[in-house]
Amino acid sequence: MAEELVQRTFIKIWDTKEKIDPDKSFISYLCTIAKNMLLNEYEHQTVKFVYSEYIKTNSTIADYDTEKEVDRKLLEDYIDKLTDKLPPKRKEIFILSRKEGLSNKVISERLNISESTIETQLSKALSFMKNELRKHTELVLILLITSSLK
């Protein structure tokens, strides 16, 4: 996992090389990216663990394929609920990109707006969804901890 995080950190630096300010500390920038990636990975692993424990203790589904389908449906429903909370134009862009699989270029041509606007709106939509997931994750962790204390 550490090697993967290092690899992803340097990919992120390469992808954002234009934004690097030579007057600021590169080491700080590198450490910030690595720290954020580590925290995101930790959060992802925690959600995965909590959810798998929930499924183990509260699910009577015996068939693994059915369980995967239920997981996919739950996630899809949750994302749909979050999508409904987005502003109308951002929601439209998100659906065209993530649900219909259209490229930013095609979306920009279809909606007659710039590709950079598409990228910005998608970034804001994903950021919103991550924040909502974090809120939900904390609630699940609190419920898990309080139920184990009883």
116/142 same-domain check: yes
Residues 51 and 69 in one domain: no
- 77, 146: one domain: yes
Q: Based on the domain organization, do 114 and 89 belong to the same domain?
A: yes
Are 118 and 149 part of one and the same domain? Answer: yes
Residue 41 has pLDDT above 80, yes or no: yes
| Entry pTM | 0.48
pLDDT band at 83 (very low <50, low <70, confident <90, very high): confident
Is there a single domain that holds both residue 131 and residue 107? yes
Average pLDDT, the chain: 80
Q: What is the mean pLDDT of residues 38-47?
A: 85
- Do 137 and 80 lie in a common domain? yes
Q: Which strand (E) or helix (H) includes residue 108?
A: helix 104-111
Domain count, the chain: 2
Same domain, 42 and 85: no
> Which ranges of 24-102 would DSSP assign to H, the alpha helix?
26-58, 64-84, 88-94
pLDDT at 63: 54
Question: Which has more pLDDT, 76 or 122?
Answer: 122
Range of the domain at 52: 1-16+24-58
Who wins on pLDDT, 22 or 145? 22
CB-based contacts of 27, cutoff 8 Å, min separation 6 = none
Question: For residue 112, what pLDDT is reported?
Answer: 92
Residue 3 has pLDDT above 60, yes or no: yes
CATH number, domain of 119, equals: 1.10.10.10
pLDDT of residue 146 exceeding 60, the answer is no
Of 3, 81, 72, 45, give the one whose Cα is nearest residue 11. 3
Statement: residue 57 has pLDDT above 80: no
Provide the pLDDT for residue 2. 83
pLDDT band at 87 (very low <50, low <70, confident <90, very high): very high
Q: CA-to-CA distance for 66 and 101, rounded, in angstroms?
A: 25
Cβ atoms of 105 and 112 within 8 Å: the answer is no
- Find the mean pLDDT for residues 14-40: 89
Q: Of 81, 87, 123, which Cα lies nearest the Cα of 104?
A: 123
> At residue 114, does pLDDT exceed 60?
yes
Same structural domain for residues 38 and 105? no
> 77 and 53 share a domain?
no
Q: Are residues 138 and 105 in the same domain?
A: yes
